[in-house]
Amino acid sequence: MTQMTVAATQMACGWDRDENIARAEKLVHAAAERGAGVILLQELFETPYFCKDTEPDLLHLAGPATDNPAVQHFRSLSAKYEIVLPISIYERANNAQYNSLVVIDGGEILGIYRKSHIPDGPGYREKYYFNPGDTGFHVWNTRRGRVGAAICWDQWFPETARILTLKGADVVLYPTAIGSEPHDETIHSRDHWQRTMQGHSAANLIPVVASNRIGREEGSSCAITFYGSSFITDATGAKLAEASEHEEEVILASFDVEQNRRQRVAWGVFRDRRPELYGDILTLDGSQRR
């Protein structure tokens, strides 16, 4: 039996980067002390979610991944506890800027994933700040198991989870920043957000971990109230653990990765796939490719 214990965290963020990193460290300590081997922090936790508005000065928050303060800080913590820490950062690479995830295992950087799907809507103006990711989807062989990861808006696309599962992931991680819709505060997307990822989990027979932020953040043109509700599923999409909408929390769950691997084979979903029939998905309008 091979057990994997994962954790999701959630917290509010301000403009003091050192304070945000210290708060995140406290959560990582708490999760590691409780036995978590893979610990997920939320998207872009070094600052407030700055994409609410298009502000030229905020473009300069980006920097090279290897020089990022959070990456440097959490490498030592990852080594201390021998844990896997995916760290969400605003990355600059020459003249390109990305919403990136640096995967750290036992203090070593295994690689970087750059967010593939970049949203653009009221309060979520990410296309102003980020180039579309160019890394493709990756699964990392870590000391705790095979870890696949994507970032926030990626979680709405079933192709992301399917590809990560096809590549052999034991778990799919989604660091997130999502909350109220500034153009219509009657919209509360939390349940839809959760069910979307639960569906990915069920369809691929793989556990999913989502880590969201909390708190109300004011921008120049709007404000967003982030609704937390970080959660972890089992390999059938059922929630094993769930955080509240408003409180700083750490949640944990464990599962048997070998049992999940056997179940994925036995269920027949991957045996019965017909990739040769799926060419239309490579088009924008669903028309047959010529």
Q: Which of the following is catalytic: 51, 91, 126, 152?
A: 152
pLDDT band at 63 (very low <50, low <70, confident <90, very high): very high
pLDDT band at 232 (very low <50, low <70, confident <90, very high): very high
- Contact at 8 Å (CB) between 224 and 49? yes
Q: Has 115 been annotated as catalytic?
A: yes
Q: What is the pLDDT of residue 184?
A: 85
- Contact at 8 Å (CB) between 118 and 127? yes
Q: What is the pLDDT of residue 171?
A: 98
Closest CA to 71 of 93, 38, 45: 45
Q: Has 185 been annotated as catalytic?
A: no
Strands 214-218 and 223-227: antiparallel
Tell me what the mean pLDDT of segment 269-273 comes to: 96
Q: Residue 112: pLDDT above 70?
A: yes
Q: Which of the following is catalytic: 13, 51, 52, 115?
A: 115
Q: Has 13 been annotated as catalytic?
A: no
Closest CA to 42 of 217, 173, 201: 173
* Mean of pLDDT over the chain: 96
- Helix 158-166 vs helix 190-204: angle between axes, to the nearest 10 degrees? 30
pLDDT digits (tens, 9 = 90+) for 144-153: 999 999 999 9
Q: Which of the following is catalytic: 43, 46, 126, 217?
A: 43
Q: What is the pLDDT of residue 288?
A: 74
Q: Residue 1: pLDDT above 60?
A: no
Q: CA 177 to CA 195: how far, in whole Å? A: 16
Q: What is the pLDDT of residue 290?
A: 61
